[in-house]
Structure 1
Amino acid sequence: MDLLQPAERHRRIAHLQAKLFQAAAEGAVRVKRRKGQRRGEDFTLMQALIKADFLLMFFSLVLASGSGLTVIDNLGQICQSLGYTDTSIFVSMISIWNFLGRVGGGYFSEAIIRKYAYPRPVAMAVVQVVMAFALFYYAMGWPGEIYVLSIFIGLGYGAHWAIVPASASELFRLKELDCTV
């Protein structure tokens, strides 16, 4: 078939595929199919709860949102412990970057899918690495740590909440999305 012209090759391949589908429909050829739902098909909540994909996504959501919320809740105390008297600047910074993360996170996940054909959970992992970098930078006590912490935690936390619902929709479809997110 490699010696055929491209148009003729595509026509013959399509013809062979049609014959295979027809034979499968008539029962002449067995098509192996796994039991249960596959990734990307409609899931009910109970079906999703027993999947490793769901549990992994749930635990990554809990851990990332927990670390982000801890920083956001204690940002005033963190600033005071570092010697800053006006903490409202950093609270405003984290809020602004949170907003930009929510807007940019959706764009970022779409760009990863369309340009590189990676699944959306890869975008979740990238955002979590950004948040981990910010926490590591803060833990090391390097100069400007509160600025780096405010920017990257705000950006990562916002992007995380933009990507998670889309990831759940991609993995488990929209049948019962309101229950899974």
Structure 2
Amino acid sequence: MGFLGLSGAILIQLYHAVCGGEGNPATFILLLAIVPTLVMFLAMPFVRVYETVTISDKKHLDGLSAISMIIAAYLMVVITVENVLGLSRSMQIFSFILVLLLLASPLLVAVRALREKRQTLSSLDGPVLDTSALLDPPSSNIFPDGDHLVAEDSNILEAMSTVNFWLLFLAMLCGMGSGFATVNNMRQIGESLRYSSVQLNSLVSLWSIWNFLGRFGAGYVSDTFLHKHSWPRPIFMAITLGVMAIGHIIVASGVQGSLYAGSVLIGMAYGSQWSLMPTITSEIFGIRHMGTIYFTISIAGPIGSYILSVKVIGYFYDKVASEDDNSCFGSQCFRTSFMIMASVALFGSLVASVLFFRTHKFYKNLVAKRNLK
């Protein structure tokens, strides 16, 4: 999830290295269509199931996390320097080569983990980890949902018949929808506030980094508080949606630098939703049908984005835009839209709070059961 959050900034660096940042926008769109697909097909032969040693997994995961943080910090420095001082064509190519080397560094962690796994397996008589239990139906992980008892491993129809599913869906519609709407209109918002092209390009790249920090931070913090203090994950969803509402209010103010400050909060909160939602889905509804349930809930994002982008931002922008060229300059262009989106995010926070209270006992039992293993 973390590297997925950084992908936007990495692809923009690739565009600058290949086209110098001055090519036709159609070239960048073609790049977006080809590169992710090419990477996916190149990586497919390496995807397989490996036996693992659970006690040594954490240090390798920590290594991957450290690499992702280093990449994020490096991209932040490069984007800032390019924004303030500018980079020559040769420096753009050199900086992207360094990005490629950093992206290849997780292979070293994987090779080291594989070597340690082979050494450990050779010293053990039996299997290291029996993964078959992961797919066994749970016998006791059930919690009340209205008048029903919902098993942890639910199929999509069973999940959709619960209140918890629709609470999660509605919270995601508010959070992901307003996040999508913000990033989709960020350039037009910046143009209305008279940001330069360099500043707007930097904002798009920095959004990817803030998105990454939200994904990474929400997962780490929620894990820590869940296992150490039995805090249910939905409480962090409520908190991040509240932070998103604050970010929308800051953007709505239209003061100098408000788009930078607001997009930091919105981007981190938006990334947090993509980290928290899949984990909450797997914990509440189980992993057997997790993919189907996860992608069904993910539909909330495009639905919310369409409603807020077209029916809210588009509608209110057209009301204040010039009739001659449909342009608008000033904080009034998006103030009403972002105040509405702030209300939507705040409503999503309240919905997530309801989910928190409904699953509070379930999470306590879940942590207690895991501690017994």
TM-score (norm 2): 0.38
* Contact kept in structure 1, 2:210 and 2:264, CA below 8 Å: yes
In structure 2, the residue matched to 1:37 is 149
**Partners in 2 of 1:41 and 1:99 — Cα distance?**
29
In structure 1, the residue matched to 2:159 is 48
Larger relative contact order (C-alpha < 8 A, sep ≥ 6)?
1
Provide Cα deviations, 1:62-119, integer angstroms capped at 9, x if missing partner.
1111100011011111111111012111111111111111111210211221233121
User: Which of 205, 224, 230 lines up with 1:111 in the alignment?
Assistant: 224
The 5-angstrom pairing of residues 56-67 of structure 1 reads 56-67=167-178
Helix, strand or coil for the counterpart of 1:127? helix
Q: What percentage of aligned pairs have identical amino acids? A: 35
In structure 2, the residue matched to 1:161 is 274
**Partners in 1 of 2:148 and 2:213 — Cα distance?**
39
The 5-angstrom pairing of residues 145-160 of structure 1 reads 145-160=258-273
Helix, strand or coil for the counterpart of 1:108? helix
In structure 1, the residue matched to 2:291 is 178
Task: Verify: 1:123 aligned to 2:236, yes or no.
Answer: yes
Q: How many residues align?
A: 148
**Partners in 2 of 1:106 and 1:163 — Cα distance?**
7
In structure 1, the residue matched to 2:313 is none
**Partners in 1 of 2:254 and 2:245 — Cα distance?**
15
**Partners in 1 of 2:163 and 2:272 — Cα distance?**
23
* Contact kept in structure 1, 2:214 and 2:268, CA below 8 Å: yes
In structure 2, the residue matched to 1:78 is 189
Name stretches of at least 5 consecutive residues in structure 2 with no aligned partner: 1-142, 295-373
**Partners in 1 of 2:282 and 2:235 — Cα distance?**
14
**Partners in 2 of 1:142 and 1:167 — Cα distance?**
37
How far does residue 36 in structure 1 lie from its aligned partner after superposition? 4.4
**Partners in 2 of 1:149 and 1:103 — Cα distance?**
19
User: Which of 127, 133, 139 lines up with 2:246 in the alignment?
Assistant: 133
